[in-house]
Chain A
């Protein structure tokens, strides 16, 4: 059952992810409120990040099957997020917003221990890349997402975008990447190390 859903999500089936979201929402929110005394809104935000991480683990990561039930998996992610949140709350004396929780998905725990200013720098960098991708538009945005996020093969990219062959896909991908690199340099975006 879980494997089927994972395959569907991996294949880009939006309804599959939504079904998972709807199915476990009430139980998850109840659990967070009773176990961690969060407000329902906080619990819902955590749940949305949980679903986002499930998606990320499947599409970007290599999650293909679960050793537990999907529900247990979601709850385990939720508990980890809450622990991260509490740990950082104690350090910063403020609760992480949903945007910061999103950033936490990309930036590893070790990196969150670097100076605040470096984190902000990373966030600004990521936001600028986001802006540049929007600016580049189709097909570059899609090609780069397929290649670097979904890790599709050149054959899959060629098929999905109706390119004549893999060489065309490869050439276009390289052109798009170089264009993005140039834009990054033009905009003087300085990436942080790590």
Chain B
């Protein structure tokens, strides 16, 4: 085989030959074992290169599942601190989730699988919520100063991260709720969360209502949630405050934000800034 043949085989593998050229080559391949062997070698090498690229790409695709939902701001010291906290928290979360999964695998319980699953989800969600909650309240990006209430709401409303909640273990419809929620399909998420009996789903149900603009339902659901909430109580207050901003109920919103401030001194930044904006009327009416 000469260089011309090498070129011919490469063109064949790259799909660059015409139909008649392919027919001619196939005729030669049937009669020239050495040429056929070289083609086989090149085809295998090409397959190997393709396999390598696809392995790398699959790893990249899988990594998207553990990305943080919200991108941290990057232009201030506070943002850097927040990013660092989130990074460290995410590592803790992964360890925590692995712990939950191991615990589930090692300690079989007499409950039926659905009940067991339900408890796993709830435990995971609660653990994650506790780990995330303080860092979540630290964040506050650059905001426009002059805004209407609607704009202020839109600027501050972002769904509470749920992507870590849904990971790990066997899954039922509850995970579907989290997947829908995470992708912004609040209508589907609401359908699923509405029929769940665990506490944490009620929080995400409230946020989902807010996501589709069902503000009164959001307020009602979150208020009920706060009565029984063990975790995410401050976050629930936050979403209720945003609901009231959307309804132009400034004083109710401020009351709720003050509650968050007084409940935990370490989570004051976002509520404080929002209170300032509401009190100083720097937004357009």
Known: A18-B64, A191-B40. A149 touches B53 (CB 8 A): yes
- How far apart sit A44 and B182, CA to CA, in the bound complex (Å)? 14
Whether the pair A30, B176 counts as a contact (CB closer than 8 A) is yes
Q: Of the 9-residue stretches B54-62, B74-82, B131-139, B265-273, which lies at the interface with chain A?
A: B54-62
Q: Of the 9-residue stretches A54-62, A70-78, A86-94, which lies at the interface with chain B?
A: A54-62
**Among A18, A60, A148, which residue has its beta carbon within 8 angstroms of that of B45?**
A148
A78-132 CB contacts (< 8 Å) to partner B: 98, 102-103, 105-106, 125-130, 132
**B143 located at the interface, meaning its Cβ lies under 8 Å from any Cβ of chain A in the complex:** no
**Among A41, A48, A128, A148, which residue has its beta carbon within 8 angstroms of that of B58?**
A48
**A14 located at the interface, meaning its Cβ lies under 8 Å from any Cβ of chain B in the complex:** yes
In the complex, chain B residues whose CB is within 8 Å of the CB of A5: none
- How far apart sit A180 and B64, CA to CA, in the bound complex (Å)? 32
- How far apart sit A193 and B37, CA to CA, in the bound complex (Å)? 9
Whether the pair B51, A106 counts as a contact (CB closer than 8 A) is yes
**A46 located at the interface, meaning its Cβ lies under 8 Å from any Cβ of chain B in the complex:** no
User: Chain B's nearest CB lies how many Å from the CB of A173?
Assistant: 9
Describe A's contact surface by its main secondary structure.
helix
Give a binary string over A149-190; 1 marks a CB under 8 Å from any B CB, 0 the rest: 101000000000000000000000000010011001000000
Whether the pair B188, A30 counts as a contact (CB closer than 8 A) is yes
Describe B's contact surface by its main secondary structure.
helix
Known: A18-B64, A48-B58, A48-B61. A30 touches B45 (CB 8 A): no
Known: A40-B171, A41-B171. A106 touches B53 (CB 8 A): no
Count the A-B residue pairs with Cβ separation under 8 angstroms: how many?
115
User: Chain B's nearest CB lies how many Å from the CB of A12?
Assistant: 11
**Among A56, A59, A149, which residue has its beta carbon within 8 angstroms of that of B49?**
A149
Whether the pair B44, A125 counts as a contact (CB closer than 8 A) is yes
**A29 located at the interface, meaning its Cβ lies under 8 Å from any Cβ of chain B in the complex:** yes
Minimum CB distance partner of A132 in chain B: B48
Whether the pair A181, B64 counts as a contact (CB closer than 8 A) is no
**A13 located at the interface, meaning its Cβ lies under 8 Å from any Cβ of chain B in the complex:** no
In the complex, chain A residues whose CB is within 8 Å of the CB of B52: 126, 129-130, 133-134, 145
**A7 located at the interface, meaning its Cβ lies under 8 Å from any Cβ of chain B in the complex:** no
Whether the pair B50, A149 counts as a contact (CB closer than 8 A) is yes
- How far apart sit A40 and B192, CA to CA, in the bound complex (Å)? 15
**A6 located at the interface, meaning its Cβ lies under 8 Å from any Cβ of chain B in the complex:** no
Interface size on B, residues (CB 8 A): 35
**A37 located at the interface, meaning its Cβ lies under 8 Å from any Cβ of chain B in the complex:** no
| Residue among B48, B49, B53, B182 having the largest count of chain A Cβ atoms under 10 Å | B48
**B183 located at the interface, meaning its Cβ lies under 8 Å from any Cβ of chain A in the complex:** yes
Whether the pair B49, A52 counts as a contact (CB closer than 8 A) is no
Whether the pair A26, B58 counts as a contact (CB closer than 8 A) is no
**A33 located at the interface, meaning its Cβ lies under 8 Å from any Cβ of chain B in the complex:** yes
In the complex, chain B residues whose CB is within 8 Å of the CB of A23: 183
- How far apart sit A133 and B13, CA to CA, in the bound complex (Å)? 19
In the complex, chain A residues whose CB is within 8 Å of the CB of B60: 14
- How far apart sit A16 and B87, CA to CA, in the bound complex (Å)? 25
**Among A41, A44, A126, A193, which residue has its beta carbon within 8 angstroms of that of B48?**
A126
Give a binary string over A1-44; 1 marks a CB under 8 Å from any B CB, 0 the rest: 00000000000001001100111011101100100000111001
Whether the pair A193, B50 counts as a contact (CB closer than 8 A) is no
In the complex, chain A residues whose CB is within 8 Å of the CB of B44: 125, 129, 191-192
Whether the pair A130, B55 counts as a contact (CB closer than 8 A) is yes
Minimum CB distance partner of A173 in chain B: B10
Known: A21-B64, A41-B171. A102 touches B55 (CB 8 A): yes
**B185 located at the interface, meaning its Cβ lies under 8 Å from any Cβ of chain A in the complex:** yes
**B179 located at the interface, meaning its Cβ lies under 8 Å from any Cβ of chain A in the complex:** yes
**B41 located at the interface, meaning its Cβ lies under 8 Å from any Cβ of chain A in the complex:** yes
Which residues of B line the A interface, CB within 8 A? Answer: 13-15, 40-41, 44-55, 57-58, 60-62, 64-65, 170-172, 175-176, 179-180, 182-183, 185, 188
**Which 4 residue pairs spanning A and B have beta carbons closest together?**
A129-B48, A40-B171, A191-B44, A126-B51
A–B pairs, 8, beta carbons within 8 Å: A48-B62, A106-B51, A126-B47, A128-B48, A130-B48, A149-B50, A181-B45, A192-B44
